[in-house]
């Protein structure tokens, strides 16, 4: 079932798809942590700057793996009402979870960016990169935030994606670019031979190599 050797290989294949768009003056924003190795390769191949857009999933204790929402370091949380009903989420519990995840998002922004200002995206073609797209909640939060910042265009680029999630995100970006969109998606990790966890140190090193940290 595996298609990509690792995230570097996925980035190489994805970069070819993005290059075909002919974007002018693009900036690549990767979702930490797993999206950063992919985004680093895409940025290098495009000759574009690399940075991060930090998003945290919102879940409830009884279903910790189910993302019923997502939040960035700033801005309002984005929720999936259908999933919230399915897991019978308590609204106070969701609010607490959202604040905890927002605090973690801010911590990560500080860890990855330090005193460096956020990249200017107004008027630029922005490429948001992750290592895969399952529910799309994290991507939706990131894309919505960027649209509010006045990007000229916003492209979501992922090596592998759920067809349903890709369709659901068409209202918050200009296009979704995906190398593989299998009908029987299951999980992102199944499409990689090697899919190790990425830690903060690796993210910081990749940003340093790209000349942004």
Let me know: does 140 contact 172? Beta carbons within 8 Å: yes
Whether the bond into 33 is cis, omega within 30 of 0: yes
3-class SS shares of the chain: helix, strand, coil, % to 5: 40, 20, 40
The torsion defined by the Cα of 73, 75, 81 and 82, in degrees rounded to 10, comes to -50
Give the pLDDT of residue 201: 95
CA end-to-end span of the chain? 36
Task: Please tell me the class of the 7-54+120-209 domain.
Answer: alpha beta
User: How many angstroms separate the CA atoms of 29 and 181, rounded?
Assistant: 21
Let me know: does 173 contact 143? Beta carbons within 8 Å: yes
Give the pLDDT of residue 64: 77
Let me know: does 181 contact 157? Beta carbons within 8 Å: no
User: Tokens representing 61?
Assistant: 């204790």
Give the pLDDT of residue 46: 96
Give the pLDDT of residue 66: 76
User: Tokens representing 135?
Assistant: 């529910």
User: Tokens representing 72?
Assistant: 């960035």
For the chain, give every domain's residue range. 7-54+120-209, 57-111
Give the pLDDT of residue 82: 80
Give the pLDDT of residue 1: 60
Return per-residue pLDDT of the chain as tens, 213 residues: 679 999 999 999 999 999 999 999 999 999 999 999 999 999 999 999 999 999 999 987 777 777 889 999 987 899 888 877 777 777 888 888 999 999 999 999 999 988 888 888 999 999 999 999 988 989 999 998 888 888 999 999 999 999 999 999 999 999 999 999 999 898 999 999 999 999 999 999 999 998 765
pTM, two decimal places: 0.92
Strand partners, 156: 128, 176
User: How many angstroms separate the CA atoms of 92 and 99, rounded?
Assistant: 11
Nearest by Cα to 213 from 36, 56, 42, 19: 36
User: How many angstroms separate the CA atoms of 143 and 109, rounded?
Assistant: 17
Give the pLDDT of residue 212: 65
- Residue whose entry in the numeric block shows the structure tokens 């992102």: 188
User: Tokens representing 19?
Assistant: 């290059």
Spatial strand order in the sheet of 55-58: 55-58, 69-72, 78-79
User: How many angstroms separate the CA atoms of 15 and 21, rounded?
Assistant: 10
């Amino acid at each position: 079932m595996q298609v990509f050797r690792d995230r570097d290989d996925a980035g190489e294949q994805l970069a070819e798809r993005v290059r075909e768009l002919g974007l002018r003056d693009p900036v690549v924003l990767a979702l930490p942590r797993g999206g950063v190795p992919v985004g680093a390769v895409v940025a290098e191949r495009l000759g574009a700057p690399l940075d991060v857009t930090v998003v945290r999933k919102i879940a409830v204790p009884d279903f910790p793996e189910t993302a019923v929402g997502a939040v960035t370091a700033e801005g309002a949380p984005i929720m999936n009402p259908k999933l919230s009903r399915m897991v019978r989420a308590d609204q106070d519990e969701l609010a607490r979870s959202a604040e905890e995840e927002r605090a973690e998002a801010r911590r990560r922004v500080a860890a990855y960016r330090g005193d460096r200002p956020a990249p200017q995206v107004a008027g630029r073609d922005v490429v948001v990169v992750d290592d895969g797209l399952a529910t799309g909640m994290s991507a939706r939060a990131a894309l919505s935030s960027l649209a509010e910042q006045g990007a000229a265009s916003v492209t979501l680029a992922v090596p592998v994606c759920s067809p349903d999630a890709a369709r659901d995100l068409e209202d918050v970006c200009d296009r979704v670019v995906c190398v593989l969109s299998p009908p029987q998606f299951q999980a992102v990790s199944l499409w990689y031979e090697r899919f190790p966890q990425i830690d903060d140190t690796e993210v910081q090193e990749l940003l340093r190599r790209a000349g942004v940290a």
